[in-house]
Amino acid sequence: MEISRDAYRAIEDIVGPDNVTDDPAFLDSYAFEWLAELVRPNRSHYMPRPWAVVMPASTREVQAVTKVCNKYKIKIKPISTGWYHWAAPMKDDEPTVQFDLRRMNRIIDIDEKNRFAIVEPYVICAQLQAEAMKLGLNCNIIGAGSSTSVVASACAYFGGGPSSHYMGNNSDNLLGQEWVTPAGKVVRTGSLSSGAGWFCSEGPGPSVRGVTRGNLGSRGGLGTYTKCAIKLADWPGPAEMEVKGRPPGYRLPIGENFRAYTIGAPNWEAWANCYYAIYDNGLGYIFHRQLNLAGANLATALWLTYIDPTKTLNDVETLAKDPEIIAINETARISFQLILAAQSIDGIQLQDKILDEILSQTGCYRVERYCEQDMAEFTNMYMQRLGHKHCNFIWAGGYMGSWMQAGTPDFVKGYVPTAIKGFEDDQQSHLLVECGGDALMGCGSTLGGGGYFGLEQFVSYDPASDASIDACIKHMEDAIADCVAQGIPLGKEQLYLQIGWTDQRIWDGMAKAPQTFVLDFQRQFKDAVDPNYLGDRNYPWLPEKWGEAPAPAQAK
């Protein structure tokens, strides 16, 4: 669709010519996104190309550009750090202005006493954590790692991570937020709306954040979040991380009031019991099944290779055949990482005793090799900063997370065998990385206080190989089929795949949801705050009476 150049000029007038572009190569750098090849025609690595990319520097500029987009009916798609295929425009025939918010990059304030920070969208977790630690504070870093935007995880996406068990989900850590609606209105939520500061996300009365921040967030589909305040947790460690070692396997020495363990379980029943015991006992500063992302068959070989800077992935092949490594690997097959922290030596010693008791009661154990100094310090580094999260892609550059249905430990335990069997079967093609059927990774709890999480199957494929891409797509379809067959809710693969589906297909599926109230709600809410439908379906809705016979000829 042709759009008047007046629109471009109007945007240029707002942000200045240096901060907007429609150069095709530049636009491609925003269209190219991870996972695109799994959903786009001909396995293209590109999502639809934006019509222009704009870099506003302030809420005022975001608002002004949004108004221009309303005038010219151009879709809007804000990104902070910009990752995932859904960060790009969705449809080829919908001109979209991509808002790259990287100029809005300030930590506006850290309120040390009241333990919250006010940040703009391009502040990443690692930056905030580094600044917070100077004040004895810490921030929950989401599972995708510390290169992610704080605002994105708090306002617009999921918000759970390895530290959520202790520090809370960023949904709950979200305090005041500033939101530019797709219609271009600025809305402030919680205490901020009353001019009372940033400290509270709820109210006045019902919480406006209830329409902006659900389970997943609107992922750029409902306007732009331009600032938010985020609750911080205490950090009983040094003001600056004293990192040592050579890349890539940096190590973080374990302070006397910290512990860094990998805990193994003899079977999944014991594993679940251990999770419940940790939940009941309130243990854990960071609690996550992390290192298994490499696959339970290869994890030990990979990480012992990784922490040796002289080695390459070729060494994993040799190491994986070493009987000693195989033996270690078996002890770590069903394992997870647990970082303990205390305010005092007495406190950490007590936590150790409690953990001993839990392990004794559940038949679980500390995995010795992983608890030796080199691996323990590496684990500590990995989990505290989450600066190695893109080891997700370490095998071949492609990773797709299937499963990840969240629930209680017993619920998760229930689907683990199916997830493992399905992945094992799909590896027989040799077109996915053969790391064993269990590459399940996930938080100890995505909710503050514990008790709720999911495990995500780390499916590694080669995005430079069409056959491998196809095998990954097949795995996603197989996982959906397994879920349907066993009555398990669909997992992340469905979320990923439907980015490539037509509206009709998505709505047909939605209409069969057990409850459609929220989909109808979101449609009506969208009608009100996004009358020109400039936001995309990352904020999903169900057209009125969709699925009821006769199907409407056209829906908005």
Partner 1 sequence: MTIQDYRADALRCTRCAYCKWVPLDLMKSWRFSKGCPSIEYGKFHSYSAGGRLITSLSLMDGRSTVTDKVRDSVFMCNMCGSCDVACKMCRYDMEPLLAMHELRAKLVEDGDLPEAYQPMLESLRTDYNTMGEPHERRGDWAKDLGVKDLTKTTAKYVFHAGCRYSFDGEQSEVARTAVAILKKAGLDFGIMGAAESCCGGKAFSIGVDQQLHKSADHNLAAWKKAGVDTVITACADCYYAFKRLYTQHAGSTIKVVHMVELLDQMVADGSLKMTNPVPMKVTYHDPCHLGRQGEDYVPWDGVEKKIFGQAVVYDPPRPRYNGAFGVYDAPRNVLKAIPGVELVEMERIKEGAWCCGAGGGAREGYPKFSEWTAGERIEEAESTGADALVTACPWCERNFIDAVRGAKGKLEVLDILQLVDMAL
Partner 2 sequence: METKRRQLAAIVGEDNVLDDPKTLEEFSSDESLCEPLRPWFVVKPANESEVQALVKWANATATPLVPVSSGAPHFYGDTVPTATEAVIVDLSCMKAIKRIDRRNRIAVIEPGVTYSELAPALAKEGLRIPRPLAPRANKSVVASLLERQPTTIPRLNFSLPEPLRNCGVVWGSGELAFTGEAGNGPLNLEAQWQRGLAQVDGKGPLATDLMRLVTGAQGSMGIVVWASIKLELIPAVRSSFFVPNAELSGLVDFIYKLTKVRLGDETLLLNRAKLAGLVEPQPAAARKLREALPEWVALVGLAGTALLPEERLKVQEKEFRALVQEFRLTLCGGFAGVSRADVVRLIDGDAGDHPPTLAAKGASQDIFFLTTLDKASGLIETVRSVAARFDYPWPDVGIYIQPQHQGVAHHVEFNFPYDPDDAKEVARARDIYLEASAELVDQGAYFSRPYGYWSELVYQRDASSTEILRTVKQIVDPANIMNPGKLCF
- Rounded CA-CA distance 184/365 in Å is 55
- C-beta closer to partner 1: residue 171 or 457: 457
- Number of H helices and number of E strands within the chain? 21, 18
Phi then psi dihedrals of residue 351, to 5 deg: -60, -40
Quick one: which segment of 63-71, 229-237, 408-416, 430-438 binds partner 1 (CB under 8 A)?
430-438
Task: Say which entry of partner 2, partner 1, none residue 354 contacts (CB below 5 to 8 A, set by partner kind).
Answer: partner 2
Binding status of residue 176 toward partner 1 by CB under 8 A: no
- Rounded CA-CA distance 336/364 in Å is 11
Binding status of residue 206 toward partner 2 by CB under 8 A: yes
Q: Are strands 286-289 and 96-100 parallel, antiparallel or unpaired?
A: unpaired
Binding status of residue 442 toward partner 2 by CB under 8 A: no
Task: Say which entry of partner 2, partner 1, none residue 515 contacts (CB below 5 to 8 A, set by partner kind).
Answer: partner 2
**534: CB partners within 8 A, 6+ apart:** 66, 69, 70, 73, 74, 75, 76, 182
How are strands ordered across the β-sheet holding 107-111? 107-111, 116-119, 224-231, 174-180, 186-188
Q: How far is the CB of 355 from partner 2 (least distance, A)?
A: 9
Q: How far is the CB of 356 from partner 1 (least distance, A)?
A: 30
| Distance, CA of 346 to chain centre | 35
**Looking at 135, 186, 187, 243, which residue binds partner 1 (CB under 8 A)?**
243
The contact pattern for partner 2, residues 382-421, with x = CB under 8 A and - = no contact, is: ------------------------xxx-xx--x-------
CA nearest to 339, candidates 447, 444, 258, 237? 258
Q: How far is the CB of 68 from partner 1 (least distance, A)?
A: 19
- C-beta closer to partner 1: residue 387 or 448: 387
Task: Say which entry of partner 1, partner 2, none residue 444 contacts (CB below 5 to 8 A, set by partner kind).
Answer: none
**Looking at 47, 211, 263, 265, which residue binds partner 2 (CB under 8 A)?**
211
- Rounded CA-CA distance 225/412 in Å is 33
Q: Specify the amino acid at residue 381.
A: M
Question: What phi-psi label fits residue 393: left (phi over 0), alpha (psi between -120 and 50 degrees) or beta?
Answer: alpha
Q: Is 352 exposed, middle or buried (0-12, 13-18, 19+ CB in 10 A)?
A: middle
**193: CB partners within 8 A, 6+ apart:** 176, 187, 204, 208
Binding status of residue 236 toward partner 2 by CB under 8 A: yes
Binding status of residue 326 toward partner 1 by CB under 8 A: no
Binding residues for partner 2, how many (CB under 8 A)? 93
**Looking at 26, 327, 356, 545, which residue binds partner 1 (CB under 8 A)?**
26
Q: Are strands 233-234 and 174-180 parallel, antiparallel or unpaired?
A: unpaired
Binding status of residue 353 toward partner 2 by CB under 8 A: yes
Q: Which long-range contacts (CB under 8 A, 24 or more apart) does 345-349 make?
A: 345/256, 345/257, 347/257, 348/256, 348/257, 348/258, 348/259
Binding status of residue 109 toward partner 2 by CB under 8 A: no
Q: Output the CA–CA distances (angstroms, integers) from residue 122 to 9, 105, 216, 401, in the order listed.
A: 25, 4, 19, 25
**Looking at 24, 205, 323, 550, which residue binds partner 2 (CB under 8 A)?**
205
Binding status of residue 161 toward partner 2 by CB under 8 A: no
Considering only residues 48-77, where is the footprint of partner 1 by CB under 8 A?
Answer: 53, 55
**Looking at 227, 385, 475, 492, which residue binds partner 1 (CB under 8 A)?**
385
Q: How far is the CB of 430 from partner 2 (least distance, A)?
A: 35
Phi then psi dihedrals of residue 324, to 5 deg: -65, -40
Binding status of residue 358 toward partner 2 by CB under 8 A: yes
Q: Specify the amino acid at residue 291.
A: L
Task: Say which entry of partner 1, partner 2, none residue 528 contacts (CB below 5 to 8 A, set by partner kind).
Answer: partner 2
**Looking at 94, 234, 322, 434, which residue binds partner 1 (CB under 8 A)?**
434
Binding status of residue 81 toward partner 1 by CB under 8 A: yes
The contact pattern for partner 1, residues 244-273, with x = CB under 8 A and - = no contact, is: --xxx-x-x---------------------
- C-beta closer to partner 1: residue 355 or 386: 386
Q: How far is the CB of 400 from partner 1 (least distance, A)?
A: 11
- Rounded CA-CA distance 268/271 in Å is 5
Binding status of residue 489 toward partner 2 by CB under 8 A: yes
